[in-house]
Amino acid sequence: MSRDVNKSEMTRRDFLATAAKGAGAMALVVFGGDFAFVSANTVSSSGVGTIGDLKYDPTKHSYVYLIDVSKCIGCGSCVRACERENDVPQHYFRTWIERYHVSRNGQVFVDSPNGGHDGFEPKVIDADVTKSFFVPKLCNHCFNTPCAQLCPVGASFVSPEGLVLVDEERCIGCSYCVQACPYGSRFIHPKTHTASKCTLCCHRLSRGMTTACVQNCPTGARCLGDVKKVGDEVANIIATSTIRVLKPELHTEPQCFYVNCSQEVR
């Protein structure tokens, strides 16, 4: 399906400008293992960012997110890292972890105490459990996203690199997008009273960095890729491995992919 973004979506670059400025005047950028300190940056209305002598053009990127369920240990490091990086209010989550217990007769028990923020205590299930595992979740950054389609004021939009974002200055807090999201990844911020969600740390991506959750995962269960980058390892895994997306019947074209994911996960 075409990934073209309409003109009304393409013009909302002020949001990224705000995000870029909020990350500070000095950043550590990592490119292929090389480190470079860069100074203050600007982002033009076209979305092309300048970081010192480095430039970020969102049209040259298309990000994908990969989760290996077999590697997740439910430690909550990713949830805490996201909270710190994005100033997420307590008991709200831009990313979270669910624990699954599956019994021999097919019963599925799912819990997520405090979003997995503090890890998981052992839990006894009154059933013949045959397998247990953890599943990280977040915004799927869908190409065919219902949240942007239903936003009455155009506050939810898809960026040129495929990120589903919210322009807080436009958002009226009606919560239509919260109800529309099939993955439960949005909430109304208790202080700003606007829609809030995972931005895939766009302020970090524009500096050549990865997301806070990927950086802080101790087992490599979370990975970020770029399908427009030749030879990208994550993109190659997605292209050549048996993968899953959540709720494929909705045809939202999610860009969050899972490997080693049991059929019970929804």
Residue 85 sits in which domain range? 1-266
**Total of domains in the chain:** 1
Distances in Å between the Cα of 92 and the Cα atoms of 24, 45, 176 are 24, 31, 18
Give percent above pLDDT 70 in the chain. Answer: 80
What pLDDT is recorded for position 2? 34
| Res. 39 pLDDT band, cuts 50 70 90 | very low
Looking only at the bridges linking them, the beta strands covering 164-166 and 156-158 are antiparallel
What pLDDT is recorded for position 54? 61
Contact yes or no for 13/45 (Cβ under 8 A):
yes
pLDDT over 70 at 132, yes or no: yes
* Rounded (to 5) percent helix, strand, coil in the chain: 25, 25, 50
What is the domain-level CATH number for residue 113? Answer: 3.30.70.20
- Give pTM, 2 decimals: 0.80
Highest mean pLDDT among 13-17, 23-27, 254-258: 254-258
C-alpha of 162 from chain center:
11
Residue range 41-80, pLDDT digits in tens: 223 333 444 444 468 999 999 999 999 999 999 999 999 9
- Say how many C-beta atoms besides its own lie within 10 A of residue 169's C-beta: 11
pLDDT over 70 at 22, yes or no: no
